Copies of this chain bind each other. A is one copy, B any other.
């Protein structure tokens, strides 16, 4: 089961993206899935063999992951999946609050019905879903869609990109168990933000978003120990 879409052999169309990016995504997926827990050594040679490419694109992919903060790549020594301390967790949530608060404020003045309606619909659907009926999974999807939509709706490409980076890192240690009650209260906060966005109230959207992330910051840091 080769991980790359296909052998780099002549058959099949040339990859639309660089090999390094393909490798990046392959490794990223393993890290996010938890197949490679923090501290796991990521040898360029091994990945090159596994993915059937040379070491060069693997090396670049590891550099990219290092830039994302998901991999520690000390010069000369082997790369390994980043290990997060409690302080790291705190910092990452602080960054999310700093970035996503203003993003929500900006988005309130920019997002229109075409962008908000799908979120409202998905939110309503979630409200009508039973706990046993894949609610957790749907919540997770909505969380992803919601935060991504706000980041996209803020109108600042750099802000959007940076938010995406920290959400990615966040997903890197997503292994902390989350209980139904907490997710439900988080959803209530999502709805509150959504209300503010629909009303075009930037201040309220920002306050609600910052409050939302601060809650999760406390929740996660608490459970991290």
| Interface residue ranges, A against B (CB under 8 Å) | 17-18, 56, 60, 63, 67, 69, 75, 91-92, 94-95, 98-99, 102, 156-159, 162
Contact = CB atoms under 8 A, between A and B. Distances in A.
B159 A162 contact: no
Contacts of A91: 156-159
Contact of A94 (B17, B63, B156): B156
Nearest to A161: B69
Count identical subunits in the complex: 2
13 contacts: A17-B75, A63-B63, A67-B67, A91-B157, A91-B158, A91-B159, A94-B156, A94-B159, A95-B156, A95-B159, A95-B162, A98-B99, A162-B162
Given A60-B63, A98-B102, A99-B98, A18 B75 contact: yes
What is the interface of chain A mostly: helix, strand, loop, or mixed?
A: helix
A92 to B, nearest CB: 7
A92 B158 contact: yes
Contacts of A63: 60, 63
A63 B18 CA distance: 13
